[in-house]
Amino acid sequence: MKLIFLGTGTSYGVPYVGCDCAVCRSDDPRDKRLRASVLVESGTTRLLVDTTPDLRAQLLRADVASLSAILWTHSHNDHIIGLDDIRPLSDRCGYIPGYGDADTLAHLNRVFDYIFLPGREHGGFPRATAHLVAPRQHFSVGDIAVTAIPIRHGRRDIFAYRFQSGGSVLVYATDCSHIPDASWELMRAADVLVLDALRHREHPAHFSVAQALEAVERLQPRHTFFTHIAHDLAHEATNAALPPSVALAYDTLSVEL
């Protein structure tokens, strides 16, 4: 199984528009962050997690020509609003299965009602089918087993996802501010954990770096990558202060499990 970071930034992206801080002016390409999204790949399956405002640029940069499915963590704009950019993939592959909770699918149907219409077999339209996922539900897409894990994002219930293929386990938990008691075991002892760590200061809807490190200590993954990163965190300086098995992710980072 392979993990590819398409974007690792907060909803603003990094650099922020109009900002003159050191990270926004940085020459380090790892400080340039599109909105948070990943690909999860196996030998026969390619899953996209979230359809960000930067999706077209992300798919071009990663040379993506097909998708097995799309999974959404929640319905905030920075995680859904690029969905129209699947149009050329639909031209090539037809309807793409999309998975999410009831609130997310209902919101997507309101915003993108033209995408989920049946019977559009000709090209020119983005096309997806909606598949409702319940909390803690197990399902498979191709040769990747998936579990939807409930987490909290401020006052919202959203999904993290657990992926398993070929004996390797990946947990992806962006936009996380609290892990409910029943979800810890589903996230524990992964080969790779991807976890929200917005900045050093606390935030009501996201883990700070310190809070994320506390969760890592309890979850005990082999390797951890932080994502959904604001312009407060310079890549090199932040990494230098993290434990050896923890690092900030960066756009285009590819991890083999």
Longest dimension (CA), the chain: 54
Tell me what pLDDT residue 119 has.
Answer: 87
Structural domain total, the chain: 1
CA 238 to CA 243: how far, in whole Å?
A: 10
Which is nearest to 39 in space by CA: 89, 2, 79, 82?
Answer: 2
Mean pLDDT (whole number) for 207-230: 98
Q: What is the CATH number of the domain that holds 17?
A: 3.60.15.10
Q: What is the pTM of this model?
A: 0.97
Mean pLDDT (whole number) for 1-24: 98
2 in Cβ contact with 256 (< 8 Å): yes
Range of the domain at 23: 2-256
Q: Does 19 have pLDDT greater than 80?
A: yes
**Cis peptide upstream of residue 29 (ω within 30 degrees of 0):** no
The alpha carbon torsion through 227, 230, 231, 233 (nearest 10 deg) reads -50
Q: Does 122 have pLDDT greater than 80?
A: no
